[in-house]
Amino acid sequence: MTHTLSQSHASDSRIAATTRLGQQIWLDTLSRELIESGALADWINDHAVAGLTSNPAIFHQALSKDPAYATAITAARAIESNPEVRFETVVLPDIQAACDLFRPLWDATNGAQGYVSFEVSPRLAHDAAGTIDAAVRLWRTIDRPNAMIKIPATSEGCAAVTEVIGRGINVNVTLIFSQEQLQAVQAAYEAGLRRWVAHCLQAGTPERIADVASVASVFVSRTDSTVDPLLPPSLQGKTAIALCKMAYEQWQNDQQGAIADLLAQGAKPQWLLWASTSVKNPAYRDTLYVDELIGIDTVNTVPDATLAAFRDHGKVALTLDQDLQAAHEQLDAVSALGIDLEQVGNKLQAAGLAQFETAYADLLKLV
């Protein structure tokens, strides 16, 4: 993905140092104040933050606390009766502005960095056709090559991912909590990518093969929060990291196997992204899910409080491919206790979808 740092003057930053090791740090928040105050530009220029993600919960917080939205909301209400359209009318200019701030980085890295994610309505999580329509509409409306459309990793979402990737649209596949869910997402991306590559070759535009980018967003902290109460103290706080290490090990193998022919033609791999990386257990180090998941060609999307903590005292070292034997042993020990991590993952995905639907419903009340 990247092995060089575009912002050389950020050499004293832990975040920039992580980028130099090959992992992108993305900011997991967005508001108009973040953009207009210059704070986002500072994160990019001073610390080499390389992308940004958003979701309904993030926008609910922004619209409820940032007075900069009041005028836009009033104007949207005057011209649009549909609350979903009003919401998009209010916030998509922020997505576009963030894309524009990251665009020089996207250009300088040939599309390896500099992406901004916006999610389709959570109400479409089990509607493949609706998700495809929404993704195409949002892609055209945002009209930025470094935008990513977020689609949840449900079975219907995966079907939409294949279609949308096949049309040349960047996708952030979100709410992944288990190995089986991740494998389904990766299979959906590969199928879509094969369609896209075939389209480019048939159209005589092989140079466009590299235009499509995707990340698979694996949620981290909620796994430990769910599983830890079922484990002895010696096994607590280790399961989520072990799952990520196994995912990365398999991802590296896939680069040499399942999608090697596509990569050879210039396609981008679907990068692993670690999400939900703030710790939920106050007994754990506040940078645990950043420190322990640093790996080449990966992304960590970090809430601002956790990012500030990592900037202050995080540990910068390649850790994701270390202690793999211990990671295997951790998952074996969890399984030996009768804990089905696939079942846990399915429950967590359902809970995550419900949380986003609630946040979205509350969000629409604000506009």
HSE (CB half, 13 Å, CA atoms) of 15? 30
Model pLDDT, residue 10: 52
pTM for the full predicted model: 0.95
Q: How confident is the model at residue 83 (pLDDT cuts 50, 70, 90)?
A: very high
Model pLDDT, residue 147: 98
Model pLDDT, residue 256: 84
Q: How confident is the model at residue 257 (pLDDT cuts 50, 70, 90)?
A: confident
Which single residue is written with the structure tokens 């499509």?
212
Highest mean pLDDT: which range of 77-81, 256-260, 339-343 = 339-343
Which pairs from 189-194 meet CB under 8 Å and 24+ separation?
Answer: 189/161, 189/162, 189/165, 189/214, 189/216, 189/270, 190/258, 190/259, 190/262, 191/162, 191/166, 192/161, 192/162, 192/163, 192/164, 192/165, 192/166, 193/165, 193/166, 193/259, 193/262, 193/267, 193/270, 194/262
The structure tokens listed for 36 are 């207009």
The whole-number average pLDDT for the span 210-224 is 98
The whole-number average pLDDT for the span 222-246 is 97
Q: How confident is the model at residue 2 (pLDDT cuts 50, 70, 90)?
A: very low
Point out the least confidently predicted range of 16-25, 95-104, 248-257. 248-257
Contact in structure between 297 and 20 (CB atoms under 8 Å): no
Angle between helices 128-142 and 83-108 (to 10 degrees): 60
Percent of the chain with pLDDT over 90: 93
Query: pLDDT at residue 34 above 80?
Result: yes
| Catalytic residue chosen out of the listed positions 150, 238, 245, 268 | 150
Q: Rounded to whole angstroms, how far apart are CA atoms 53 and 26?
A: 7
The structure tokens listed for 349 are 């995905």
Which residue type, as a one-letter code, is found at position 153? A
The whole-number average pLDDT for the span 211-230 is 98
Query: pLDDT at residue 142 above 50?
Result: yes
Q: How confident is the model at residue 1 (pLDDT cuts 50, 70, 90)?
A: low
Point out the least confidently predicted range of 220-224, 257-261, 324-328. 257-261
Cα maximum dimension of the chain: 60
Contact in structure between 200 and 224 (CB atoms under 8 Å): no
User: 8-366 — its CATH code?
Assistant: 3.20.20.70
Q: Is 238 a catalytic residue?
A: no
Alpha helices (H) in the chain, listed in sequence order: 14-21, 32-36, 39-47, 56-65, 70-79, 83-108, 128-142, 155-166, 179-202, 221-227, 239-256, 260-264, 288-291, 304-313, 324-336, 341-366
Q: How confident is the model at residue 11 (pLDDT cuts 50, 70, 90)?
A: low
Q: What rounded mean pLDDT belongs to the chain?
A: 94
The whole-number average pLDDT for the span 213-222 is 98
Contact in structure between 156 and 131 (CB atoms under 8 Å): yes
Point out the least confidently predicted range of 72-86, 122-136, 160-174, 209-223. 72-86
The whole-number average pLDDT for the span 53-59 is 92
Q: Rounded to whole angstroms, how far apart are CA atoms 182 and 19?
A: 24
Q: How confident is the model at residue 264 (pLDDT cuts 50, 70, 90)?
A: very high
**Cα angle: 354, vertex 360, 366; to 5 degrees:** 145
Q: Rounded to whole angstroms, how far apart are CA atoms 292 and 315?
A: 8
HSE (CB half, 13 Å, CA atoms) of 125? 17
Q: How confident is the model at residue 9 (pLDDT cuts 50, 70, 90)?
A: very low
Q: Strand, helix or coil at 144?
A: coil
The structure tokens listed for 64 are 């409820």
Strands (E), the chain: 23-27, 51-52, 115-119, 147-152, 171-176, 214-219, 270-275, 298-302
Model pLDDT, residue 304: 87
Supply φ then ψ for residue 147, to 5 degrees.
-85, 155
The whole-number average pLDDT for the span 202-212 is 97
Q: Who has greater pLDDT, 100 or 67?
A: 100
Helix and strand numbers, DSSP H then E, in the chain: 16, 8
The structure tokens listed for 35 are 């953009």
Which residue type, as a one-letter code, is found at position 12? D
The whole-number average pLDDT for the span 210-221 is 98
